[in-house]
């Protein structure tokens, strides 16, 4: 007689699929929680950055109030060498480059003006700001006439920067700049602008 194994009527056979859904739900909850935390963190960082950006910019401007105009502060800068200036007194035009700084960016080697540089009859160096004292137009060298000319209103100057007309549109002569020769041949000038439209030479 064969033996039969009796199983309890209420016993259940284990099926792996029955427990799968609870595990998936737990895993899904964990992923959702992690994503929610990351989203909250990213939002917090963005909010803090947006809040601090204008504050940091204002603080930078407060700590360095002269930074924006530092390129025109009147410091000496090297602009040329003696061998670049003709012996016969003909002026050369030299652009002036400097770093510009605002509350957000730095702009290296930006043009901030220019100068006429020449040797005088006495053999000295003369530097003149190319900006016309009338309205600030750039004066040019008229080689045909041997004069300096403002093309905006035809104000004329001699090579020393003096007005050639009694009723000139320019309220004063061209603005001379300090010149130094250093290191055996380097030409350094103190570049600066002066107030426009007035007879008195007032530094900006």
Per-residue pLDDT tens over the stretch 17-32: 445 555 555 555 555 5
Q: How far apart are CA 191 and CA 174, in angstroms?
A: 13
Q: How far apart are CA 124 and CA 112, in angstroms?
A: 25
- Return the domain boundaries, the chain: 16-63, 70-190
Indicate the CATH number for domain 70-190: 2.102.10.10
Which structure tokens are listed for 184?
């055996």
pTM: 0.64
| Dmax (CA) of the chain | 143
185: left (phi over 0), alpha (psi -120 to 50) or beta: left
Q: How far apart are CA 8 and CA 31, in angstroms?
A: 41
| 61 sits in which H/E element | helix 20-63
User: What is residue 24's predicted lDDT score, i.e. its pLDDT?
Assistant: 53
Q: What is the mean pLDDT of each run of 10 residues along the chain (204 residues)?
A: 49 49 54 64 60 46 42 76 97 91 81 96 96 97 97 97 96 98 96 97 94
User: What is residue 100's predicted lDDT score, i.e. its pLDDT?
Assistant: 76
User: What is residue 22's predicted lDDT score, i.e. its pLDDT?
Assistant: 54
Q: How far apart are CA 5 and CA 51, in angstroms?
A: 76
| 155 sits in which H/E element | none
- Rounded (5°) CA angle 72-78-84: 125
Say whether 75 sits in a helix, a strand or coil. coil
- Please, are residues 131 and 121 in contact by the beta-carbon 8 Å criterion? no
| 105 sits in which H/E element | none
User: What is residue 25's predicted lDDT score, i.e. its pLDDT?
Assistant: 53
User: What is residue 110's predicted lDDT score, i.e. its pLDDT?
Assistant: 86
User: What is residue 76's predicted lDDT score, i.e. its pLDDT?
Assistant: 93
User: What is residue 104's predicted lDDT score, i.e. its pLDDT?
Assistant: 84
Tens of pLDDT, residue by residue over 82-109, are 999 999 999 999 999 988 777 788 888 8
- The torsion defined by the Cα of 27, 31, 37 and 41, in degrees rounded to 10, comes to 150
């Amino acid at each position: 007689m064969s033996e039969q194994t009796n199983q309890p009527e209420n016993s259940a056979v284990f099926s792996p699929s029955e427990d799968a859904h609870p595990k998936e739900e737990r895993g899904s909850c964990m992923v959702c929680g992690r994503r929610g935390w990351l989203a909250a963190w990213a939002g917090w960082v963005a909010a803090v950055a947006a809040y601090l950006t204008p504050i940091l910019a204002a603080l930078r401007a407060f700590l360095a109030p002269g930074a924006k105009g530092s390129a025109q502060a009147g410091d000496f800068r090297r602009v040329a060498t003696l061998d670049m200036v003709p012996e016969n007194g003909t002026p050369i035009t030299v652009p002036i480059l400097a770093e510009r700084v605002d509350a957000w960016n730095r702009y290296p080697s930006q043009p901030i003006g220019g100068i006429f540089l020449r040797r005088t009859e006495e053999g000295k160096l003369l530097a003149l700001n190319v900006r016309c004292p009338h309205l600030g137009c750039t004066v040019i060298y008229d080689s045909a006439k041997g004069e300096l000319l403002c093309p905006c209103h035809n104000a004329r100057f001699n090579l020393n920067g003096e007005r050639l007309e009694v009723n000139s549109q320019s309220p004063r002569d061209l603005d001379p700049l300090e010149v130094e020769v250093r290191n055996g041949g380097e030409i350094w000038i103190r570049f600066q602008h002066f107030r426009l439209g007035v007879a008195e030479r007032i530094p900006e």
